[in-house]
Structure 1
Amino acid sequence: PVRLGKLDEYHQRTTAMLRAVEAALVVTDARIRPLLDGAPTRLGCVVAAELDGAGELESTAVSDDIALIQFSSGTTHDPKPVALTHRNLLFNLAAIADYFAGDSLPAPVGVTWLPLYHDMGLIGNLLTAFYLPRPLVLLPPELFLAVPAAWLRAISRHHGTVTAAPNFAFGLCLKRIQDEELAGVDLSSWRLCLNGAEMISADVQRRFGERFAHWGFDPAAFTPVYGLAEASLAVTFKPVNHPVTVLGVRRESLAAGGVVEPGTAELVSTGRPLAGVEIEIRDTDSHPVPDDRVGRIVVRAPSVMAGYFDRPDLSSEVLHDGWLDCGDLGFLHDGELFVCGRSKETVIIRGANHAPQDFEAALDGLAGVRVGCAVAVGYLPVDTGEEALAMLVETTPDVPPGLAGDVAARVLQRTGIAVRHVELLAPGTLPRTSSGKLRRLEARSQWLTGTLSPPQQAPLPGSAPC
């Protein structure tokens, strides 16, 4: 996808991905080809309609052949090519199908707007629909972003029973949907509302359930999940017919020693491992830790990749004796997984480890701040030897006076941590992945080097509105 005003970034990332997998040909459509043809490096593109069919072609694949390569987190110039075999994919699809076969779940009818270049869209929706099989209604991602109500109307119209979306989607529905847009809508068929791909907010789920219950949505449909590209997709799901578990924890205890103690900060369980999946929480020396202790999440399953394509250097960093280091911090409580944040994105203040999401969530609802468009980073100010907190914040067009001070005050009020610097940014400035996740490490690097720049103002050919 091309972000508005970020054509150069798109060319750089696309070129890097194609080189990483030694691609010989790019098949695209007429709408996208002009964007690719403008790249400084020729990408060898053809439009699908130009290809002559060769009739039926026999192809023999064995289980350990590479089925697809999907890209995980990484910088624009060095994306990570996750090589998944047929065995990896089929095991994960079978585990998802086993979950859908749970007691009292209706025959699944999927309704999704997720892009098919994202693992939750491709594997969790499209390939799962082929595997089960099940009906699947596809909406253009740009339609949902422009008119979130279109998603709920489609669920009603097609009697959708299952959806999957990142947490920000539910926040966008709360902010953008007007009641009159849902005239005649009935959401009572919506039985599984999978929420994953980023940190899950108990407050957003609670407010979504309360508001859309008026149109028949059952809050019990919320199903938090956890997964990652390196494990094909799905790792944990909330158990069927089991309420969502929300723990109140002391953020200070988590930060200081990784100990789970009762408190007011809410963490949402992402459920239990799917069939055939093993999870452990380990310390920095790779030793397992007991329940209610924060550590690195590691996973073992037949769905875990054999490695990054042609990158043994990257593979050796995350794969050890069949276990995958997910790069996330979390803990187990009564057999359920709670995710605290990305290990490499941790902000260290006076020796205490803080998840950046804690600071970012503090800005929810603050006038002048774009929803889901703030990044918390740690840095070393030139006048001190202690790491400090900076907030990089995209603003709405109507920036209220004193917004930087409001940001600092809100973070201090909600977390007890002082903000040393607030950077107010134009919309679209923060770097994101192809699936819309914020690239915190890249944002930090660009900010520190002075290269965090706003997008161009002119719209691109074929680009969708933000």
Structure 2
Amino acid sequence: MARSLVELLTAHAQQQPERTAYRYLLTGDCDGDVQDLSYARLAHRTRAVAGWLQDRGLAGSRALLLHPPGLEFVPAFLGCLAAGVVAVPGVPPQGRSQNHRALTRMKRLMADSGAQVILGGREVVGALHTGAEHLPELDAVTCVATEDIPDDAAGTWRAPDLTADSVAFLQYTSGSTSAPRGVVVTHGNLLDNERIITERMGHTPDVLAEYGGELTLSWLPVYHDMGLMGPILNTLYLGATTTLLSPLHFLQRPGRWLTAISRYRPHTSGGPNFAYELCLKHATDELVDSLDLSSWKVAFNGAEPVRAATLRRFTETFRAAGFRQEAFYPCYGLAEATLMVTGGAVDAPPTLLDAGETGPHAGEADAAAVGCGRPGTGITVVIVDPERQEELPEGEVGEIWVAGASVAKGYWRNTLATRETFRATLTGREGRFLRTGDLGFLRDGELFVTGRLKDLVVVDGRNHYPQDLELSAELSHPALRPGCTAAFSVDAGREGEHVVVVAEVAPDAAGEAEKITDLVRSAVGEAHALSVRDVVLVQPGTIPKTSSGKIQRRACRAAYLDGALAVIGVPVTG
């Protein structure tokens, strides 16, 4: 049995050297240029990066990875693992301003991880050197473009002595409710979670043979756990083939994702709920007529609330192209559990529950909750009262706690946060549990996620999930951008908590600001019996989000209180 992904890579390179491990669509289009990386070439470049790191005495250190979309990230990441270096995937700063948000995050990751080396793409490394006066941190760091590491460096590589407890990489959390923290993922965590992904998503030897090894297609950022653990590392775990395209190319033209699925016919592909909404927004009869999505067996949906209405509309729109409702695969995971915790059943429709209902429902658009499947083998999920820290009976909402071999070691150099999050104990249950900070309930063994513990809006003693308020607001007018609304509460002193909704709108909708504001108030009021104090319409792309696209409600709340939002029109105050 393999002890690491490095051993699996060596085996695949020996058994199927010419098989394509990864292909990258340079323009995002199937008829554009394509780069391929075979298992033999991947293994050689991995050893070259590893040998280069070992020759400089960097084994045991941390390496910050800053690669633009493409194939260079893969041998860089695996080269770190093969050298006994702890990889730290980061968001590469790009553009003239070096993307202030990415630059700030990069500095934070460098400081927290204590990275001694930066591996990146040529353009990124060149830009970092050009702006060195603004980055004094670079003085103490070795910085190299992985393309410039020579092939013959592979000759000096020495296989490290890796165990299940050896640290593989630091997966920095996206920071939706706090500053990013480095989750310490071991080689044992990696292998266990890849096993769970394989089992839950039905990536069996028979399926791989049926699909000719074409396992996954992905536009997801590789520095985020969903884009790394699934498309990149599950492909390597199984010796399969994955097709990649840039997140930017997908965002520019969402139809590229579906066109690539139609062309390469993978078994699995997916993303957060907003990705399916974007495809719907840009769907045309011409696009649908050009597609064949019949091979798409696992359309996973995770990382943010899964919307029943999205599943229904996507199925209706793309049914003519061969897409089936049974392909939808809601799932739940988090970096602290390496990635996957629960997943749906392959070839079975998602489980939908109506408000107050006691059993599965056929699938109306207003279903209150979408099931995220059952835990993988070896994973334990319990629902706990977060105050009393007692297990709750089935059907009751509480904090989701997780245990199993996929749960990471803890947070890098943060003993207090590790103890609070990873060392929870429960009466009547053996072992320690991970406190996820997510809310949900179990029904017939299936997990339903309802929100974030710290994001709850509490008004007049009633709990409201901000995701529900945001969805009601977004559906009130077509100019409101999907997945770009933040709802939160502010302290109004003696008057208690007041609700605020901040929403991005299309630039040409400024003249309708007052009308849109009224519609948002009405929609939230009717659906939730809740009065909205302020509705603030802002420019596209200005609501704070994490690296994985999650709304940072607390950061948005802070910007609102500081008067720092990029407002369109004048917000109406009630």
TM-score for both structures, normalised by structure 1: 0.90
Q: Could you tell which deviates more after superposition, 177-186 or 396-405?
A: 177-186
Write the distance in 2 (CA, Å) between the matches of 1:361 and 1:116.
28
Q: Is 1:50–2:160 an aligned residue pair? A: no
Per-residue deviation at 1:156? 1.0
Write the distance in 2 (CA, Å) between the matches of 1:267 and 1:75.
21
Letter in 1 for 2:320: H
What is aligned with 2:104? 12
Q: Could you tell which deviates more after superposition, 48-57 or 207-216?
A: 48-57
For residues 171-218 of structure 1, the C-alpha deviation after alignment (integer angstroms, 9 at most, x for no partner) is: 000001322234432111111111111100000010000110011111
Percent of aligned pairs sharing the same letter: 36
Q: Is 1:226–2:345 an aligned residue pair? A: no
- Is the 8 Å Cα contact of residues 235 and 273 (structure 1) preserved in structure 2? yes
Write the distance in 2 (CA, Å) between the matches of 1:103 and 1:63.
25
What is aligned with 2:388? 285
Compared with structure 1, are the counterparts of its residues 93 and 368 closer, same or farther at alpha carbon in structure 2 (3 Å cutoff)? same
**Aligned equivalent of 1:329, options 439, 453, 460:** 439
What is aligned with 1:374? 485
**Aligned equivalent of 1:398, options 508, 524, 529:** 508
- Is the 8 Å Cα contact of residues 11 and 36 (structure 1) preserved in structure 2? no
Compared with structure 1, are the counterparts of its residues 357 and 429 closer, same or farther at alpha carbon in structure 2 (3 Å cutoff)? same
Write the distance in 2 (CA, Å) between the matches of 1:241 and 1:453.
45
Per-residue deviation at 1:250? 4.5
- Is the 8 Å Cα contact of residues 13 and 77 (structure 1) preserved in structure 2? no
Letter in 2 for 1:397: P
**Aligned equivalent of 2:183, options 64, 78, 82:** 82
- Is the 8 Å Cα contact of residues 12 and 76 (structure 1) preserved in structure 2? no
Higher relative contact order (CA 8 A, sep 6+): 1
Letter in 2 for 1:46: V
Per-residue deviation at 1:102? 6.5
Per-residue deviation at 1:225? 0.4
- Is the 8 Å Cα contact of residues 102 and 240 (structure 1) preserved in structure 2? no
Write the distance in 1 (CA, Å) between the matches of 2:556 and 2:136.
25
Write the distance in 1 (CA, Å) between the matches of 2:254 and 2:366.
31
What is aligned with 1:181? 287
Per-residue deviation at 1:101? 4.8
For residues 66-77 of structure 1, what are the structure 2 equivalents within 5 Å?
Answer: 66-74=167-175
Compared with structure 1, are the counterparts of its residues 34 and 359 closer, same or farther at alpha carbon in structure 2 (3 Å cutoff)? farther
Write the distance in 1 (CA, Å) between the matches of 2:119 and 2:145.
6
| Partner SS, residue 207 of structure 1 | helix
**Aligned equivalent of 1:308, options 400, 403, 411:** 411
Q: Could you tell which deviates more after superposition, 166-175 or 317-326?
A: 317-326
| Partner SS, residue 46 of structure 1 | strand
**Aligned equivalent of 2:228, options 108, 117, 122:** 122
Q: Is 1:98–2:209 an aligned residue pair? A: no
Compared with structure 1, are the counterparts of its residues 286 and 277 closer, same or farther at alpha carbon in structure 2 (3 Å cutoff)? same
What is aligned with 2:48? none
Write the distance in 1 (CA, Å) between the matches of 2:395 and 2:144.
53
Q: Could you tell which deviates more after superposition, 100-109 or 418-427?
A: 100-109
For residues 8-47 of structure 1, what are the structure 2 equivalents within 5 Å?
Answer: 8-37=100-129, 38=131, 39-43=134-138, 44=141, 45-47=143-145
Q: Is 1:191–2:297 an aligned residue pair? A: yes
Alignment RMSD (CA, Å) = 2.5
Per-residue deviation at 1:374? 0.5
Letter in 2 for 1:209: T
What is aligned with 2:44? none
Write the distance in 2 (CA, Å) between the matches of 1:151 and 1:309.
35
Letter in 1 for 2:437: G
Write the distance in 1 (CA, Å) between the matches of 2:396 and 2:94.
39
Compared with structure 1, are the counterparts of its residues 174 and 8 closer, same or farther at alpha carbon in structure 2 (3 Å cutoff)? same
More helix by share: 2
Letter in 2 for 1:425: V
Gaps of 5+ in 1: 252-262, 455-466
Per-residue deviation at 1:451? 3.6
Per-residue deviation at 1:304? 0.3
Per-residue deviation at 1:406? 2.0
- Name the count of aligned residue pairs: 444
What is aligned with 2:351? 245
Compared with structure 1, are the counterparts of its residues 248 and 142 closer, same or farther at alpha carbon in structure 2 (3 Å cutoff)? same
- Is the 8 Å Cα contact of residues 273 and 302 (structure 2) preserved in structure 1? yes
Q: Is 1:430–2:532 an aligned residue pair? A: no
Q: Could you tell which deviates more after superposition, 25-34 or 139-148?
A: 25-34
Write the distance in 2 (CA, Å) between the matches of 1:103 and 1:288.
38
Write the distance in 1 (CA, Å) between the matches of 2:379 and 2:310.
29
Compared with structure 1, are the counterparts of its residues 164 and 204 closer, same or farther at alpha carbon in structure 2 (3 Å cutoff)? same
Q: Could you tell which deviates more after superposition, 35-44 or 184-193?
A: 35-44
**Aligned equivalent of 1:161, options 267, 291, 303:** 267
What is aligned with 1:149? 255
Write the distance in 1 (CA, Å) between the matches of 2:508 and 2:474.
17
Q: Could you tell which deviates more after superposition, 224-233 or 6-15?
A: 6-15
Per-residue deviation at 1:113? 0.7
Higher Rg: 2
Compared with structure 1, are the counterparts of its residues 101 and 109 closer, same or farther at alpha carbon in structure 2 (3 Å cutoff)? closer
For residues 121-162 of structure 1, the C-alpha deviation after alignment (integer angstroms, 9 at most, x for no partner) is: 110111000111222111111111111111111111111221
Compared with structure 1, are the counterparts of its residues 450 and 317 closer, same or farther at alpha carbon in structure 2 (3 Å cutoff)? farther
Per-residue deviation at 1:381? 2.4
What is aligned with 1:258? none
Per-residue deviation at 1:364? 3.1
- Is the 8 Å Cα contact of residues 308 and 367 (structure 2) preserved in structure 1? no
- Is the 8 Å Cα contact of residues 300 and 323 (structure 1) preserved in structure 2? yes
Per-residue deviation at 1:118? 1.0
What is aligned with 1:255? none
